[in-house]
Amino acid sequence: MKLPYLFQRFYLLLLGCLLTYLVMGMIVRHGWTQLGPVTGTIALVTLAMLVSAAAYPLARRLGGRLDRLRDAVRAFGEGDLARRAVVEGSDEIAALASGFNVAGEHIERLLHAHRQLLANASHELRTPLARIRLGVELLAERDDTTRRADLVRDLRELDDLLEEILLSSRLDAELPLAAEDDVDVLGLVAEEASRYPDVDVSPGDAPVDAGTHLASADPRLLRRLVRNLLENAHRHGQAPIRVEVVPSEAALRIVVDDSGTGIDAADRTRIFEPFFRSRAHRENVGSGLGLALVRQIAERHGGHVSCDTNAHGGARFVVALPRPSRMQG
């Protein structure tokens, strides 16, 4: 077993001091007989003091590094989330300081994302709430069937928004996934696509009955991912919508193509941000969290999602998910 670097330094220093003290003691005891017991003892005590003085700079430097790390941890705990520890050297204390910095950056990023989520959510909630308040006032004046239907739609929109905010928060918390190795992605995609009359699902070049369209995933989250991609294509693209489930040795890809006008190249890197509105689609449609959840779900499974333009000029979304370990060669 490899000894820790800091322990090695202390061990070697202590061993060197003991050996030096032993050698000098033997010299005093057997070589310098003319010194006498008292003088020899004084010589050994003096040697011990010299060794201690030589070791003091190392102990002082170590104590100073620990004090600075303690101050950084205390400041971070008191709310200074931008505080980071100074990484000095390459031993265990340096590794601890580096680990603290990584954890601090992760916590700061999560808190910043939550603040943005709350700020954007409060803004997005105002619209359906205002429509509901107006609808209730008008409904109190007269019984209007159309107004009642609008209220039901607004309540459903509000419920969807709250559900997606809660799901986004749970994904940020990185709770354990209820992952299964044998999720039939092709069957799941076909079930979700059946909700739309203009979606065509293809298994790629692989045979359907060979068990090649399996992935390691949480079925509930994967269903939400597929549903959000199809809903996005339905709302912002045009029919027909094509979905292809393409298996490979290392990953399984879900490719969603629509026949719309596509997404501007400048927006493709931001399309997965919460509440981002593309310049080509400024209308207030949907909760604004659909594609953000797609990215979160893909990344929580160890995969990724990308956006591009297909051969027909429409939008193409590609999700890559890991395959079961037994299917990877």
Reported as a single tens digit per residue, the pLDDT across 299-317 is 999 999 999 999 888 999 9
Query: Is residue 72 located within the same domain as residue 111?
Result: no
Q: What is the pLDDT of residues 211-227, one digit of tens each?
A: 678 888 899 999 999 99
Query: Is residue 107 located within the same domain as residue 66?
Result: no
Does 240 reside within a domain?
yes
Does 140 reside within a domain?
yes
Query: Is residue 168 located within the same domain as residue 45?
Result: no
Query: Is residue 156 located within the same domain as residue 223?
Result: no
Which residue range(s) make up the domain with 150?
A: 94-172
**CA-CA distance, 88 to 96, in Å (whole number)?**
10
Does 89 reside within a domain?
no
Q: What is the pLDDT of residue 190?
A: 93
3-state SS class at 142: coil
Query: Is residue 140 located within the same domain as residue 198?
Result: no
Element spanning 250, H or E: none
Does 198 reside within a domain?
yes
Of 154, 172, 190, which marks where a domain is finished?
172
Question: Is pLDDT of 109 > 90?
Answer: no
Q: Which of 294, 174, 158, 161 is nearest to 232 (CA)?
A: 294
Tell me the DSSP string of 73-120: HHHHHTT-TT------SSSHHHHHHHHHHHHHHHHHHHHHHHHHHHHH
How is residue 201 annotated by DSSP? E
The residue-averaged pLDDT of 276-302 equals 76
The residue-averaged pLDDT of 136-146 equals 68
Q: What are phi and psi of 200, to 5 degrees?
A: -110, 125
**CA-CA distance, 321 to 299, in Å (whole number)?**
9
Q: What are phi and psi of 308, to 5 degrees?
A: -155, -170
Query: Is residue 310 located within the same domain as residue 229?
Result: yes
Query: How many domains, in total, are found in the chain?
Result: 3
Least confident window among 101-110, 185-194, 217-226: 101-110
Element spanning 243, H or E: strand 241-247
Query: Is residue 48 located within the same domain as residue 13?
Result: yes
Asked whether the whole model's pTM tops 0.85, one would answer no
Query: Is residue 184 located within the same domain as residue 246?
Result: yes
Query: Is residue 307 located within the same domain as residue 186?
Result: yes
CATH for 284:
3.30.565.10
CATH for 111:
1.10.287
Question: Is pLDDT of 195 > 80?
Answer: yes
The residue-averaged pLDDT of 273-302 equals 76
Query: Is residue 50 located within the same domain as residue 27?
Result: yes
Share of the chain above pLDDT 70, in %: 65
Largest Cα span, the chain:
119
Query: Is residue 290 located within the same domain as residue 263?
Result: yes
